[in-house]
Structure 1
Amino acid sequence: MSDLTQTTLASSNGARHEDRWTREHEAVSLVRRRSRERPIRFGALPETVEVDLATCAFVVIDMQNDFLHPEGWFAAERGADVSPLKTPIVTINELSRAFRQAEVPVVHLNWGVRPDAANLPANVLDKGSDCGTRAGYADRIGSGPVLVSGEWGALSLEAIQVEPDDIMVNKHRLSGFRDNEFDQILRRFGITTLFFAGVNIDRCVFATLMDGAFQGYDVILVEDACATVSPEYVTEAILYLVRLLYGFTAESTDLLKALTSPK
């Protein structure tokens, strides 16, 4: 074999695989290249935070049709006023662009269940359908099957900017770490710090953040990049708990300034 060294390979969707083996001097090298540290510092609560962009990911949760679109499950079947859920769209897109420019992975973590809902336990199916009295996960409504992978309801809202190099992951629980490949992808790319955005801050965002913290990830909630249909006091409780127990909260203005300032 020829003397060949290749440390970065690209998959069909543009994702980088920097941990691939290489062939060098008639041998296969299992030595992985270590990413250069790229620290940034920004204001946060309860304290200012410094992170290494080389080990960060921006996680956008549930910004999808069945939750945000007026014909989606939340609005059409559950009678929710989804207008508050659209308030962070501009901020999420701004942050996504800044993170991409900084070569930080953007992960879209959407509900995307099996068509037969075979892997969903009763406590998920019956809480989501009021014990079968109205449409829930994988049931068919006017816009299609609810939150089924590949169907309209599971797709990101058109207003959310999704780029080919972004990472798309389906989730099957309130926590994005359960019964899927999310944790494996993060560990594969050497991610240790997660920035969270999306909806609902008191449901899937908080559940995923907590689960990530339990598994050893450093977690930062971007306050103005999240929303909920719940009362304001619920959001205040979530922010209090994140700052007290799990990690940090930050504002997009402080984060964007740190991401875009000259290095």
Structure 2
Amino acid sequence: MRALGATAANAWQVSAEAVSLLRPARPARPITLAASPQRLTLDLARTALVVIDMQNDFCHPAGWLAGIGVDIAPARTPIAPLRTLLPVLREASVPVVWVNWGNRPDRLNLPPGVLHVYDPTGEGRGLGARLPGQDGGVLEAASWNAAIVEELSPPPGDITVAKYRMSGFWDTELDSILRNLRVDTLLFAGVNVDQCVFCTLTDAACLGYDVVLLEDCAATTSPGFCAQATVYNVRQCFGFTTRSTDLLAGIAA
């Protein structure tokens, strides 16, 4: 019998004479950690980390947001805790999934409503724009602009997914990948917590995933009350919040 599947977690066993639909057994690896609104126990064997939009155009001093006058200091605050957390999760065999804007150069899959969010006056400083000093378009696939910031540059074992909406689930392969990984619980990090992180998290919850927001690994350039409302709504309506320090303590224990 030979394994047939995109991942070891979701594979059949096949031969010329027979097929086994039994997936490989995975022993549970439970950890308990401080969280809100309640203490949380989760299974590391069925957990993945989803990091959203930690890209040059959002988080680098030479990127798009900084170039149009946005204070990107808040968007850079997840970098340090993620640099501490990521190696531990990888060592624990927790998949790391990077979900980032990576638009087509012709923008043919982007409706006016999405373009308007970033270019409300139609002056051409939004998605796909060629700004002074930049070779690629804003958040354009395969450009420096859309690349993950150097401090978090992922190793080959991580997974990357390009998105084209505030939510990472619309018109992407994200759900298919997570199903193939056979994960139930998603940890969320990235920017902006009140926009793309929250939209992706709420869609995940509606799809039946358990969702946990890592508060210190998520941030926004929006006013502070936006982050406060997001944390409240995650706890009230969708799942749980915790901090990377509490997650690390749970893994260490």
TM-score, normalised to structure 2's length? 0.94
**Equivalent residue, structure 1, for 2:63:** 72
Match in the other structure for 1:112: 102
Following superposition of structure 1 onto structure 2, how do residues 151-162 of structure 1 map, counting pairs within 5 Å?
151-162=143-154
Establish whether residue 170 from structure 1 lines up as the match of residue 162 from structure 2. Answer: yes
How many angstroms does 1:26 deviate by? 3.9
User: Partner of 1:152: helix, strand, or coil?
Assistant: coil
- Mean CA deviation greater in 58-67 or 86-95: 86-95
Aligned-pair CA distance for 1:92: 1.0
Q: Aligned partners of 1:79 and 1:134: how far apart in 2?
A: 16
| Preserved CA contact (<8 Å) 1:60 1:106 | yes
Aligned equivalent of 2:114: 124
CA contact (8 A) 1:36 1:54 kept: yes
In structure 1, what is the equivalent of residue 76 of structure 2? Answer: 86
| Aligned residue number for residue 37 of structure 1 | 28
Checking the alignment, whether the CA contact within 8 Å between 1:194 and 1:220 is kept in structure 2 is yes
CA RMSD of aligned residues (A): 1.6
Whether 1:97 and 2:121 are equivalent positions in the alignment is no
Pick from 220, 231, 242 the counterpart of residue 250 of structure 1: 242
**SS class of match (2:186):** strand
Q: Whole-Å Cα distance in 1 between the matches of residues 210 and 19 of structure 2?
A: 34
Provide Cα deviations, 1:33-52, integer angstroms capped at 9, x if missing partner: 13211111100000001111
1:97-116: CA deviation from partner (whole Å, max 9, x where unpaired): 11111111001111111111
CA contact (8 A) 1:125 1:131 kept: no
Q: Name the structure 2 match of 1:57.
A: 48
Across the two proteins, how many residue pairs are aligned to each other? 251
- CA shift, 1:134, in A, is 3.5
Tell me how far apart the structure 2 counterparts of residues 127 and 243 of structure 1 sit (CA, whole Å).
Answer: 27
Query: How far is 1:161 from its partner?
Result: 3.8
**For 1:222-258, what per-residue CA distance to the aligned partner results, in whole angstroms no more than 9, with x for missing partners?**
0011111122222111111111101000011110111
Are the equivalent residues in 2 in contact too, given 1:138–1:145 (CA < 8 A)?
yes
- In 2, Cα distance between the equivalents of 1:184 and 1:6? 19
| Aligned counterpart for 1:199 among listed residues 191, 194, 197 | 191
Query: Deviation string for 1:11-30 (max 9, x for gaps)?
Result: 7xxxx443233235842323
Q: Distance in 2 between matches of 1:6 and 1:213?
A: 31
Q: Tell me the residue number matched to 1:241.
A: 233
Structure 1 length normalisation: TM-score?
0.90
Q: State whether residues 98 and 260 of structure 1, in contact with CA within 8 Å, keep that contact through their aligned partners in structure 2.
A: no
* Counterpart among 199, 222, 231 of residue 223 in structure 2: 231
Percent pairwise identity = 46
Query: Is the Cα–Cα contact under 8 Å of residues 9 and 182 in structure 2 kept in the other structure?
Result: no
1: CA distance, partners of 2:155 / 2:251: 19
Gap regions ≥5 residues in structure 2: none
Q: Name the aligned partner's letter for residue 33 of structure 1.
A: P
* Structure 1 counterpart SS, 2:151: coil
Give the partner amino acid of 1:56: T
Structure 2 letter corresponding to 1:136: G
